[in-house]
Amino acid sequence: MIAVTAKTILGDCREALQELSDNSVDLIFTSPPYADQRSQTYGGIKPDQYVEWFTPIAAELLRVLKPDGTFVLNIKEKAQNGERHTYVLELILAMRKIGWLWTEEMIWHKKNCYPGKWPNRFRDSWERLLQFNKSRHFNMYQEEVMVPMGSWAEKRLQNLSETDKIRDNSKVGSGFGKNISNWIGKEKAYPTNVLQLATECSNKSHSAAFPESLPEWFIKLFTKEGNTVLDPFMGSGTTLKVAQRMKRNSVGIDILPQYYDMVNAAIQPTECYLFEKREEYAADNKKRSGTVRKRKHSELPQQAS
């Protein structure tokens, strides 16, 4: 039995982060408000001011992260005046100047991206997952995210959406083909730096910025049970919810009271022994006091070994 805590802080993360100790966090996973987006809820940062706004926050995050911890930043620049804006590129350069190491850039390929048609560009179906580190020797538990591949072709086809199958069939040399034979016999393979996940909108009260499987993947990869995960822009609290389910301590910060209240209601922000889903947790509340209950099969996404 591992006791995990979930802590929520209401406030601007530029100040709220000062509450956290140096070298106290194992993983920072966050998706800050994109420039000019969510102007109703957040300030709606101007693209030209984005680097200036985020850099001091990045400095605080550098302070609170453990030397062997990792910072994963989910972000995408917007198209403006016919061009992609450069603030994300400039942010990477600015963060290196204050001491961050830009270890890797992974791609989140969103299978169901926003529709639309324009004369000069196609739909944007990917976002950046920028990995920053404090030192070159950080914790990475690669085995935790290995993907199964016994009888690889069938598994691969199963995991693909119907759309993917259609499109792959219409292309030449699209990844199926003769190389399949190279994989048969292996049980598991390490993933690559491209993640293919759909955006899910399971949460009706709030449009989830990212699916639970996204923070889950990074929590598995960069932390162990009992470690601490931080999301300085927690929003609806997806990162915290997943961290708690995976028995990691979590800290979430948001400037908006409605998100703060929503997350508090959802995750029971005190020390707890939480393995149930929310509904079961509520229904089972009185019984929970001392006992660790069995977890239902559906609660944890199967790694399918």
Residues 176-195 contacting its own copies, CB under 8 A: 176-181, 184, 190-194
Which residues partner with 133 through β-bridges? 70, 101
Measured CA to CA in angstroms, residue 142 lies from 12, 102, 105 at distances of 34, 19, 16
* Residue 119 binds its own copies, judged by CB under 8 A: yes
Of residues 21, 40, 120, 298, which one binds its own copies by CB under 8 A?
A: 120
Number of alpha carbons in the 13 Å side-chain half-sphere of residue 278: 12
Residue 37 binds which of its own copies, DNA, none (CB < 5-8 A, kind-dependent): DNA
Of residues 10, 59, 94, 113, which one binds its own copies by CB under 8 A?
A: 113
Element (H, E) at 189: strand 188-189
Task: Name which of 103, 89, 10 is nearest 54 in CA terms.
Answer: 89
Least distance from its own copies to the Cβ atom of residue 17, Å: 24
Three-state secondary-structure class, residue 230? strand
Contact 214, 196 (CB under 8 A): no
Residues 236-295 contacting DNA, CB under 7 A: none
Q: What are phi and psi of 155, to 5 degrees?
A: -60, -40
Residue 297 binds which of its own copies, DNA, none (CB < 5-8 A, kind-dependent): none
Nearer to its own copies, 151 or 303 (CB): 151
Residue 178 binds which of DNA, its own copies, none (CB < 5-8 A, kind-dependent): its own copies
Residues 6+ apart with CB under 8 A from 33: 41, 42, 43, 44, 45, 233
Cα–Cα dist 63/60, whole Å: 5
Which residues partner with 126 through β-bridges? 109
Nearer to DNA, 211 or 269 (CB): 211
Of residues 202, 298, 302, 305, which one binds DNA by CB under 7 A?
A: 202
Of residues 1, 21, 40, 81, which one binds DNA by CB under 7 A?
A: 81
Residues 2-31 contacting DNA, CB under 7 A: 31
Contact 136, 102 (CB under 8 A): no
Per-residue binding letters, 213-242, with its own copies (x by CB under 8 A): x-----------------------------
Of residues 138, 233, 260, 275, which one binds its own copies by CB under 8 A?
A: 138
Q: What are phi and psi of 279, to 5 degrees?
A: -65, -45
Of residues 21, 40, 119, 298, which one binds DNA by CB under 7 A?
A: 119
With the CA atoms of 231, 235, 241 and 246 taken in that order, what torsion angle do they form, in degrees rounded to the nearest 10?
-30
Least distance from DNA to the Cβ atom of residue 211, Å: 9
**Helices 238-245 and 257-267, interaxial angle, to 10°?**
20
Of residues 72, 209, 243, 266, which one binds DNA by CB under 7 A?
A: 209
Contact residues for DNA, defined by CB under 7 A: 31-34, 37-38, 74, 78-82, 111-112, 114-121, 123-124, 149-151, 155, 161-163, 189-190, 198-202, 207-210, 233, 235
